[in-house]
Amino acid sequence: MPTNDARTVPPFEQLTQLAAQLCCCPLAALTLVEDGQHRLAAQLGTDALHLGALQALGTQLGSSPQVQILVPPGNGTIRFCAAVPVCDADQGCVAVLWVMDLQPRALDPAQTDALASLAAQVQRLLQLQASEQQYRQLFENNPQPMWVREQHTRRILAVNAAAIAHYGYTQDEFLALTSCAVQPDSPDPLAEAAAQDDNLRALPRRHLTKDGSVIDVEMSTSSIQFNGQTARLVMVHDVTQRLRAERDLARLSRAQRMLSACNEALIRASSEPALLDDICRMTVEIGGYRLAWVGFAQDDADQSILQVASAGAMPAIAKAWPLTWSADSPYGQGPAGRAVRSGEAVIVPDIRTDPAFERFLALNPIQGQRSVACLPLRNASRCFGLFYLAANETLEIGSDEVVLLQQLANDIAFGIDHLRAQAAQRVADAHIHHQASLLDKAQDAIVVRSIDHRVLFWNKSAERLYGWSAAEVLGRSMVDDVYTDNPAAYAAATQAVLAHGEWHGEITQNRQDGNSMVVEARWTLVRDADNQPYSIMAVNTDITQRKAAEREVQKLAFYDPLTQLPNRQLLMDRLQHALASSARSGQGGALLFIDLDNFKTLNDTLGHDKGDLLLQQVALRLSACVRGADTVARLGGDEFVVMLEDLGPNPQAAGTCAKNIGEKILAALSAPYQLDGKEHLSTSSIGIAPFCRQPETVSELLKQADIAMYQAKGAGRNTLGFFDPQLQAEVTARAALEADLRLAVALGELFLHYQTQHNAQGRMTGVEALVRWRHPQRGLVSPAAFIPLAEETGLILELGHQVLVQACTLLASWRASAETQHLTMAVNVSSRQFKHPDFVQQVVDTLAQTGASPLQLKLELTESLLADDIEQIIRKMEALQTHGVGFSLDDFGTGYSSLSYLKRLPLDQLKIDQSFVRDVLTDPNDAVIARTIIGLGQSLGLNVIAEGVETAQQRDFLARHGCQAYQGYLFGRPMPAEQLAPFMDTLATV
């Protein structure tokens, strides 16, 4: 049995072993004295009887810390005893180092000195432990969060209670982290300090707690020695509240400066647009906001909000987003609409938590924008608009700042009213033609027409926009020229202006060259001195490019950019409509789920650019295979979906039609592709899920088609698979079994049964550990049902570890008895478990933790493990063999192991599979195989054991041909540990 490395043996054990070695005694112990009682801290060769003897011998000890020869009890087995008390100035004798012999003897002076020296080392270790305990208490009870981390890897080695409480992690979670987890976005000052061996003080950093909250801290670090290695001690001081107060004060100061600057602009303002532009600009530049804009509430049918001035970073999607203050519109539920309706300020500290922003954020994850403040603009009669502010950070605006912001909004509203009054006075004082020169400078097309549609004014921007000069249109009716495509929309807008005094909306118009455009029109009714309608002033802005951008956004949202096919979102919408239509009309349809075979191989060998070319060609071929009314969509990767509608009311006919189209698609997709001059062959697997007046949901139908596609994959690919409800039931049952198995593994509910193994004389030589699972509802689940599932899902790693721990725990308990200490424990190891990088260390650690003898542990491997990477397998087996672990090749003869590999494997045993043993007396082939395996094992010097031995005749046949070890119902069924011990009492063991 291999000895432990000295570096892994505890210090007290080392000193005890050394005392026995130096004094040439077979027995040694170190006891700690507590309330006059001796408690074993380390021992060599002693047992419970010896401890009783030491308790009695302790009464003979004097108070001198010198080597003392004691008189053993007359009726004991100890014939010689020497002891050295280890004394403390305050507590007296705290420990005793003993050496004993079963024969009378004496110590020479050198041995006496050595024993005294070792006792002094014990005293220093006890003092060191007390010092370390005091330091640990200071560390644990420190009110500031603290942790110790490795010098270079940044792994956290220790953490105090304050850090656990402050960051929200448990101690185990902390010890599984590195310092990067709480400081992910900052450079690593600890690594730099470690390299220079410097101490850092009050370093500002931002940390993350477990719940994702960001806190501001000042971090101090220093270099320490921890568990014999150089490490860094980290102390953290949370300054979040202090910095927040400083930021709030700075923001309030900015708000005051912003209010002062805006008031100056109000005094200097000569026009409403200039005033609003200046205020928005100063709000961004002085107030520190990311975005500021002013909007006016319109009284049109949509109750829209007209944005009239802005500054800062305005997202493109926000410019096209419908703004309304209607309570009935989903777009009116945001802070802007609420502020206009209520006339009160609306503050949203974090838009990510406001339901009104969910749809907006889904289409446009705004970079940086976090908070919004909407301030109503009110006059004496109503709330006529709002001042909208957006900030980069989450804001908790205090009451003082809210007062300042509302005061600013009130000042803006007063300034607007004042400027509007001035503008109205100028309009009343002068005719519109006096302002023609000003209107000519406007960027928008401004047209004034009479009530009977004759053009009265046509500015320069209108000339540029429409292509007609003012001389060509003045006095003419332009209805037939400009509104050729949509005269009804023009008539409706004109009626709205006459009825309400103004109209705002989008309308299609024509240029002189015949091209159409979309304009955003703002039309205002102008009255004469008698308050009668005189003319209509139209301010028209060309928004053709903006509308094109909106269409592009729509395209990006609902179409795959690579293939230009509908994406998942659009497919789900169309599929929902198709199911509803099918339920109403009774017309059947089908969903075809298409997955390209071996597409990953193409990407890996020829590159993703060639893969993209293939996907584009597949999209074209799919579109060519279906009708124009059908939908071809790309879900992502190499997955496509074809939705067929209106296949008729007969389910069988609809299925036949879907099958024909599927075969057409298979043929089209299997034809050669040209990828940049290189020919490539590809096939596909298609799953078909019909639907006809059935209440399937969209997700259920996709799931059915997906299941059918995997059925086609399993059938050899390049084929069709129709959805089968029985297949879904199997998938559902498998998913339920997997969920139950995960829970059982997590809760440690799996347990072991043990089947005995015997030699040719019938004596028991060991057991094989067999895992069992008893489910509360399913009852006892067969290993044949859950072991393959555990292999496939990866649960076998944790399951295998639990089996190894339980088996080694029982194996360790056998060491205490001479009748069981030589029994072996066979544990099955799966291929996936054995190939795990940490498997060797896991086995070694389990043996150390449980105290089991590695010489008695036998790992059973299957032949499937030998299918690949044999060199790595041999290295792992040899590494475990150096610790004393043995190996058995399980189910031998059922796999495909190479004899050239077999002779190189460090095996101890071959196991004949029970499938050969079962018919060894009746099937000549099985008999030949069994004899061959036995002969092969003898040739290679390996022990051979046969499993599944149920009759004496089977055993006798195997014995006649040289098999010397057996396992099966003839000797005993698998049984739990509590039944195994009584069963072994009835047997003779080796």
DSSP 153-197: T-BEEEE-HHHHHHH---HHHHHT-BGGGTSTTS--HHHHHHHHT
Residue located via tokens 């980069």:
392
Using alpha carbons, list the distances in angstroms from residue 395 to 215, 248, 354, 788, 874.
Answer: 15, 9, 14, 54, 62
Give the per-residue pLDDT at 84. 92
What's the whole-number mean pLDDT along residues 96-114? Answer: 89
Coil, helix or strand at residue 986: coil
The answer to whether 330 touches 355, Cβ cutoff 8 Å, is no
pLDDT digits (tens, 9 = 90+) for 10-41: 788 888 999 999 899 999 999 888 887 888 88
Residue 374 CB contacts under 8 Å (≥ 6 apart), including other chains: 335, 336, 338, 339, 345, 346, 347, 386, 387, 388, 389
How far out from the chain centre does Cα 440 lie?
60
Kindly give the residue spans of alpha helices, DSSP state H, lying in 587-697: 599-606, 608-625, 651-670
Residue located via tokens 């919004």:
372
* Highest mean pLDDT out of 249-258, 396-405, 844-853: 844-853
Percent of the chain with pLDDT over 70: 88
What's the whole-number mean pLDDT along residues 523-550? Answer: 85
The answer to whether 178 touches 188, Cβ cutoff 8 Å, is no
581 burial via Cβ count (<10 Å: 0-12, 13-18, 19+): middle
What's the whole-number mean pLDDT along residues 529-554? Answer: 81
Tell whether the model's pLDDT for residue 318 goes beyond 70: no
Lowest mean pLDDT across 118-122, 211-215, 925-929? 211-215
Give the per-residue pLDDT at 568. 85
Cα torsion for 758, 759, 764, 770, to the nearest 10°? -30
What's the whole-number mean pLDDT along residues 112-133? Answer: 84
pLDDT digits (tens, 9 = 90+) for 144-189: 898 888 877 788 888 888 888 888 888 888 888 877 778 776 555 5
699 burial via Cβ count (<10 Å: 0-12, 13-18, 19+): exposed
Distance (Å, rounded) from C-alpha 342 to C-alpha 737?
Answer: 56
Coil, helix or strand at residue 609: helix
pLDDT confidence bin for 1, thresholds 50/70/90: very low
Cα torsion for 545, 548, 553, 555, to the nearest 10°? -160
The full set of domains in the chain, from first to last, is 6-137 (3.30.450.40), 142-238 (3.30.450.20), 290-429 (3.30.450.40), 432-544 (3.30.450.20), 559-723 (3.30.70.270), 740-985 (3.20.20.450)
Distance (Å, rounded) from C-alpha 696 to C-alpha 271?
Answer: 62
Distance (Å, rounded) from C-alpha 164 to C-alpha 169?
Answer: 6
Tell whether the model's pLDDT for residue 455 goes beyond 50: yes
pLDDT digits (tens, 9 = 90+) for 589-634: 888 999 998 888 888 778 888 889 999 999 999 999 988 888 899 9
pLDDT confidence bin for 838, thresholds 50/70/90: very high
Lowest mean pLDDT across 193-207, 687-701, 968-982? 193-207
pLDDT digits (tens, 9 = 90+) for 32-80: 888 878 888 888 887 766 777 788 788 788 777 888 888 887 666 788 9
Instruction: Give the angle subtended at the CA of 983 by the CAs of 977 and 989, to the nearest 5°.
Output: 105
Residue 773 CB contacts under 8 Å (≥ 6 apart), including other chains: 741, 744, 749, 750, 751, 780, 781, 783, 786
Tell whether the model's pLDDT for residue 4 goes beyond 60: no
351 is written with which tokens?
């838009």
pLDDT confidence bin for 881, thresholds 50/70/90: very high
The DSSP bridge partners found for residue 216 are: 206
130 burial via Cβ count (<10 Å: 0-12, 13-18, 19+): exposed
Tell whether the model's pLDDT for residue 389 goes beyond 80: yes
Q: For residue 444, which phi and psi values (nearest 5 degrees)?
A: -85, 155
Instruction: Give the angle subtended at the CA of 269 by the CAs of 264 and 273, to the nearest 5°.
Output: 125
Residues in the chain: 990
Residue 211 CB contacts under 8 Å (≥ 6 apart), including other chains: 168
For residues 751 and 712, which has the higher predicted lDDT (pLDDT)? 751
Give the per-residue pLDDT at 29. 92
Distance (Å, rounded) from C-alpha 770 to C-alpha 874?
Answer: 25
* Highest mean pLDDT out of 63-67, 140-144, 790-794, 856-860: 856-860
